[in-house]
Structure formats: C-alpha cells, structure tokens
C-alpha cells in the first residue's frame, strides 16, 4: 500500500514546487519578453519578432518604438494582439515581420520602458538584445559562388620587371624614412590620453550650456545625461554600464560604490529619473534638470582617483 501511494506523493511535491516557482514571476509589475522564431535565418526569407508585455492591471507601461531601433533588417509588417486579461494581469503582444536583405549578423536591440503604478511606485523593465545570423543553407542559391560566369581574358605578364622593382625599393625607403622620423620624434610632443574624469566633466559642462534644459522636448537632455554618466562609470569601474538597462546597472555596481550610500543614491536617482523622461515622456521643472546635472557632476568629482584629487588641490594652492 505504501508503494502504491509513493507516486501520488511525488506528484504532489512536484506540483507544489512548480506553484512556488511561479509566484515571483507573477508578482513582477511588468515582464517584457522579446523572442524570434529562430536565431539563424535565410536572407530574403521573412521571420517574426514577438514582443510580449505582461503587466499588472494597476500598472501603466510605456512600450518604446521597437521598430525605430532595428537597423539593417527590413520591417515588412507589424501587427498587435491583445490585450488579454486574466488573474489580475494584462498581456499584449506586438509581432514584427522582418527580413534580412543580405547575409551577415544583425542585432535587434533590447526593449526597455518605464512603468508606474497607482500606489506611486515606478521603475523600468525590459529585455536583452537578440543576435540574428543570416546565411544561406548549403546547396541553396546564393550559398556559394558556383554560378557560371564569363571568363575575362588573362593579362599578359609584364616582360620587363624593372619598373616594379624600382617602385618597390622606393616604397621601402619611404616607409623606412617615415618610421625613423617617428622614432626620433616619439619623445617630443605626444598628446596625452585624456582621463575619463576630464571627458565626463567637459561633457556635463557642454550639456549645461547646450540649451537642452529649456527645450520643449526634454528627452534629448535626459538621454545625453544618462549616457555621460554610464560611459564614465564603465570607463572608471570596468563594468558594461553603457550596454545595461538601469536595473541591471544598479545590480552590477561594484562594492566601492554600494558602500558609499550617498553616491549610490545619486546614481540611482539620476538614472531612474532620466528614464521616466526618456521613455514615459514625463516633463519636470528646469531646476530639477539642473539638480540632475549637479548630482552627476558630484559623482564624477567624488570618484576621481586620489592622484588626480591631489594634483587638483596642489594646483589650486599654487594659484594666486
């Protein structure tokens, strides 16, 4: 009797495990999924890209224009399915019919957007990029240069190689002279590589003077500010901040930043606030945009290497 009950006990344990595993996904405010029929396609043959957005009923999510970020691939058609409601969630689906015109590798960028709920909470959600490989199958037309073509008449070889030899010697002598000149001048005026701190501070000053803070469309300002901060973090701390979504970047920040709570809070505030302007189209007062610039500038100053800080302080003490 005990042996007969064992299969039923095992089935109950598996079902309980499945139910526990599915709970976290259902509690997410927004789940964005992007997928293609197949990662390897044939040039000239259509395939489909499906972008699904699964959100709670109380959450608003701004789906970005996926088609605007697709480069190289031909968008043949687009259709929308849904919304489908059930279990307190809403599912929408956008299907793009694409075609690769030539053989090669294509990148479908990730889908990212901002969400907000009725209780005042907000954030971003998205999916990663998709790599598409377009190639002809073996034996298919266009897979190999085996087509019959007219043969061009062969050129007769030069009877006198002297001009070619003389030209080769002159080229070698010229290259040698150039290399010798560069070696003798190598120790002289050489442009130093600019550190990331100088590049970031100059970009922030240029953004402040650009007039984008007073523009009707605040999206370009938010995009440039986020890009400057992301590129600086990637150059200084060595993690791919430029290619990450905001939630991925905040999770991947090194301990050096996480331990400095004020700096981590400033980075989170600038990136999440700029996402709301970029993706949700929210408009904020001009003084708020200025505070974003101040926070980003403070992050760059506070993360400067000790040698640069000492050099700056010594330069200011030596001044008038």
Determine the 3-state secondary structure of 225 from DSSP. helix
Region 11-28: what's the mean pLDDT?
48
Contact 118, 57 (CB under 8 A): no
Beta bridge partners of 89: 56, 86
pLDDT digits (tens, 9 = 90+) for 261-312: 888 999 999 999 899 998 888 888 989 999 999 999 999 998 876 444 444 4
Q: Where are the domains of the chain?
A: 25-134, 196-309
Question: Does residue 182 surpass a pLDDT of 90?
Answer: no
Output b/e per residue, 57-67; b: 16+ Cβ within 10 A. Answer: eebebebbebe
pLDDT digits (tens, 9 = 90+) for 240-262: 998 999 999 999 999 888 888 88
Q: What is the CATH code for 25-134?
A: 2.60.40.10
Contact 267, 230 (CB under 8 A): no
pLDDT digits (tens, 9 = 90+) for 306-319: 444 444 444 444 44
Q: Which residues contact 26 (CB under 8 A, 6 or more apart)?
A: 87, 89
Token pair for 25:
């996904």
Model-level pTM? 0.39
Looking at residue 296, its pLDDT comes to: 93
**β pairing state of 112-117 and 122-126:** antiparallel
Angle at 111 between CA 110 and CA 117, to 5 degrees: 145
pLDDT digits (tens, 9 = 90+) for 83-134: 888 888 988 888 889 888 888 888 888 788 888 887 878 888 888 788 888 8
Token pair for 185:
């001048």
Of how many residues is the chain composed? Answer: 320
For the chain, percent of residues with pLDDT exceeding 90: 22
Token pair for 88:
């307190």
Q: How far is CA 303 from CA 42, 129, 231, 254, in A?
A: 48, 30, 14, 12
Looking at residue 186, its pLDDT comes to: 67
Question: Does residue 19 surpass a pLDDT of 60?
Answer: no
d(CA 6, CA 202): 70
Question: Does residue 228 surpass a pLDDT of 90?
Answer: yes
Token pair for 121:
């909470």
């Amino acid at each position: 009797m005990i042996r007969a009950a064992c299969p039923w006990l095992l089935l109950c344990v598996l079902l309980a495990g499945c139910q526990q595993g599915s709970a976290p996904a259902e509690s997410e405010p927004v789940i964005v999924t992007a997928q293609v029929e197949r990662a390897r396609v044939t040039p000239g043959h259509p395939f489909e890209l499906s972008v699904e957005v699964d959100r709670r009923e109380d959450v608003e999510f701004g789906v970005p224009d996926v088609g605007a970020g697709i480069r190289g691939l031909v968008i043949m058609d687009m259709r929308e399915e849904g919304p489908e409601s059930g279990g307190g969630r809403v599912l929408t689906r956008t299907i793009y019919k694409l075609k690769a015109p030539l053989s090669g590798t294509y990148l479908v960028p990730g889908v990212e957007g901002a969400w907000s709920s009725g209780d005042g909470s907000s954030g971003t959600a998205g999916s990663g990029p998709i790599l598409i490989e377009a190639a002809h199958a073996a034996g298919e037309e266009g897979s190999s240069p085996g087509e019959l073509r007219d043969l061009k008449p062969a050129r007769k070889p030069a009877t006198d190689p002297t001009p070619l030899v003389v030209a080769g010697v002159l080229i070698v002598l010229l290259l040698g002279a150039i290399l010798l000149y560069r070696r003798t001048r190598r120790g002289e005026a050489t442009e130093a590589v600019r550190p990331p701190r100088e590049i970031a501070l100059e970009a922030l000053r240029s953004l402040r003077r650009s007039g984008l803070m007073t523009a009707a469309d605040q999206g370009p300002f938010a995009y440039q500010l986020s890009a400057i901060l992301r590129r600086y973090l990637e150059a200084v701390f060595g993690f791919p901040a430029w290619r990450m979504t905001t939630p991925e970047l905040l999770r991947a920040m090194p301990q050096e930043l996480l331990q400095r709570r004020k700096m981590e809070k400033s980075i989170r505030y600038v990136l999440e606030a700029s996402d709301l302007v970029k993706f949700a189209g929210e408009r904020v007062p001009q003084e708020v945009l200025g505070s974003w610039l101040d926070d980003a500038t403070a992050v760059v100053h506070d993360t400067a290497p000790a040698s640069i800080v000492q050099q700056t302080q010594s330069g200011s003490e030596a001044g008038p």
